[in-house]
Amino acid sequence: DQQVKQNSPSLSVQEGRISILNCDYTNSMFDYFLWYKKYPAEGPTFLISISSIKDKNEDGRFTVFLNKSAKHLSLHIVPSQPGDSAVYFCAARPNTGTASKLTFGTGTRLQVTL
Amino acid sequence: SAVISQKPSRDICQRGTSLTIQCQVDSQVTMMFWYRQQPGQSLTLIATANQGSEATYESGFVIDKFPISRPNLTFSTLTVSNMSPEDSSIYLCSVGEREKLFFGSGTQLSVL
């Protein structure tokens, strides 16, 4: 049972445009959400997170939106840059969980083209 | 954030053999975690490596197949035993800080 779903395995965006990566979850106990970025031959690196008490968190070019009623979150990257080309993982954990209890999605491969 | 060094970065192994992956952290951490990412799949927690006690394994993972050592607060090893092609994956060491996980660079394992 995939509790965190990233239904788009890949996404291609032109440099300078907005990239929108989507993530859906089914477990209503999840209350903390994270995005990780992974380059080939490297481990995932933490990008941005959001608590369920918020609906938006912004960090530079990266913004995460949370819609709890729809159990949906999205990562916006604007403007997109070629260096953003990577696999992006959405992750979530329940309010009683520790960092180790993160549940990950299958990832979306973002390609930013010139 | 902690700096996590993992080795080997990749290996190609024969069926039936075992591989031990090492993970070194630059600071003392209470818990270290081992994840697996099979091709096209999400990251799955294998076990939590506790210093001074046995590792805690997630459902579907057993100590005989994935023995773990945690001799001190900065080091852990994961062994993939009696390998089969189904064990071909990326294996990742990680540590938790507050609500976030930080990962090593991973070990790309291919089993022939």
pLDDT, residue B98, reads: 73
How does residue B97 score in pLDDT terms, banded at 50, 70 and 90? confident
Q: Does residue A98 carry a pLDDT above 70?
A: no
Residue B74 lies in a domain: yes
- Nearest-angstrom CA–CA distance, A47 and B105: 16
Q: Is residue B103 part of a domain?
A: yes
Residue B110 pLDDT > 90: yes
Q: What is the structure's pLDDT at B53?
A: 81
Distance from CA of A3 to the nearest CA of B (A): 11
Per-chain mean pLDDT for chain A: 93
Identify the pLDDT of residue B83.
Answer: 97
Question: How far away is chain B from the Cα of A104, in angstroms, using its nearest Cα?
Answer: 6
Chain A residues with beta carbon closer than 8 angstroms to that of B110: none
Residue B112 maps to a domain: no
Compare CB distances from B99 to A32, A44, A104 and report the shortest one's residue.
Answer: A32
Closest CB to A99: pick one of B4, B6, B101. Answer: B101
In sequence order, the β-bridge partners of residue A13 are A112
What chain A residue is nearest to B42 in terms of C-alpha separation? A106
Read off the pLDDT of residues A54-94 as tens digits, 9 standing for 90 and up: 999 999 999 999 999 999 999 999 999 999 999 999 999 88
What is the average per-residue pLDDT within B44-51? 91
For residue A80, what are its two tokens? 């997109």
User: If you average pLDDT over residues B6-21, what whole number do you get?
Assistant: 96
Assign B73 a pLDDT band (cuts: 50, 70, 90).
Answer: very high
Based on the structure, what is the number of domains in chain B? Answer: 1
CA distance B15 to chain A (A): 23
Domains, chain A, in order of start with CATH, read 4-113 (2.60.40.10)
Which of A21, A14, A3, A7 is closest to A73 using CA atoms?
A21
Average pLDDT, chain B: 93
Parent domain of B41: 4-107
Q: Is B20 part of a structural domain of the chain?
A: yes
- Using a CB cutoff of 8 Å and minimum separation of 24, what contacts does B45-54 make? B45/A100, B45/A101, B45/A102, B46/B78, B46/B91, B47/B78, B48/A100, B49/B76, B49/B78
Say which CATH number the domain at B98 has: 2.60.40.10
Q: Is B28 exposed, middle or buried (0-12, 13-18, 19+ CB in 10 A)?
A: exposed
